[in-house]
Amino acid sequence: MSMRIHRGWGRYFNFSTVGSFIIALFVIVPLYWMVASSFKTQSNVSASPAQLFPVPVSTSSYTAAFNDGFAHFILNSVIVAVCTTTLVLFLGTLAGYALGRMPMRGKYPIMVTLLMISVFPTIAVVPALYVVMRTIGWLNTYQALIFPYTAFNLPFAIWILRNYFLGISRSMEESARIDGAGALRTLVQVIVPQVTPGIFTAGVFTFTACWTEFLMALSFDFGKKTIPVGIASFGAQFTVPYGAYFAASVLSVIPVAALVLIFRKAVVSGLTAGAVKG
């Protein structure tokens, strides 16, 4: 009897269940603490012992964040992230199609080079990029971030999209050519709709990388601060506005979380296809 009960409970309490529960705690608890602290008063944020619930509920931290220019930081991040994502998807689609579908010499060295660029540490090139930006007069401009972000995120997009292009039957292209469609029309109307999950995957990851990048944004844009740099600039010499930090962090997480939730099926499909093809 006891053996049967043990086996019955074993279906619900196994190592995978316990592991998933622990991982969920590591993810959910910090998120809850960030959201709850954003609705506390400034004195309650740093109270000892710590308060588990925001009592009383206050929106003063959100007001303080916007008073410190957070709306401007959001606008800067949106402009940089959207422009970079658009460039990466446009160039990545063309390059992925060329590397995956067209006859070309030297494909292997190109793919190896792209892989090396994708894992190259950003901090190693920031000093040289700073000198370049200062020389051409791009410091404190949007393009000072858009073009470096495009260069660093493009290799990953090309890898994802190339693997998708490799999985498309060539009979579709041949049928389009028989019907009189040119190469560009075939790509836009026939091939691109087949790689939509890969495009969404590359777009979500590119947008997230641009939205959260800190080092280059801090180095190149002193005037047009993005969200990470803007949050770091909150406060004065002798004050640390923890409430404003939490409130701004909550607002900065919402767009990324919304993208992942909306396009989660496409992202999972894109990552899975990238792991088994090519």
pLDDT in single tens digits along all 278 residues of the chain: 444 545 555 555 566 777 788 888 888 898 999 999 999 988 888 787 888 888 888 999 999 899 988 999 999 999 999 999 999 999 999 999 888 887 888 888 888 888 888 888 888 899 999 999 999 999 889 999 999 999 999 999 998 898 888 888 778 777 877 777 777 787 888 888 888 888 988 999 999 999 999 999 999 876 788 999 999 888 766 678 888 999 999 999 999 988 888 887 777 766 666 444 44
Which residues does 22 contact at the CB level (< 8 Å), separation at least 6?
A: none
Q: Which residue has the tokens 């910090």?
A: 30
C-beta of residue 54 within 8 angstroms of C-beta of residue 36: yes
DSSP element (H, E) containing 266: helix 264-276
Q: Which of 127, 86, 117 is nearest to 216 (CA)?
A: 127
Report the alpha-carbon distance of residue 188 to residue 174 in Å, rounded.
Answer: 15
Q: For residue 52, what are its two tokens?
A: 């588990």
Which residues does 172 contact at the CB level (< 8 Å), separation at least 6?
A: 190, 191, 194
The reported pTM is 0.85
C-beta of residue 183 within 8 angstroms of C-beta of residue 58: no
DSSP element (H, E) containing 90: helix 70-101
Report the alpha-carbon distance of residue 268 to residue 273 in Å, rounded.
Answer: 9
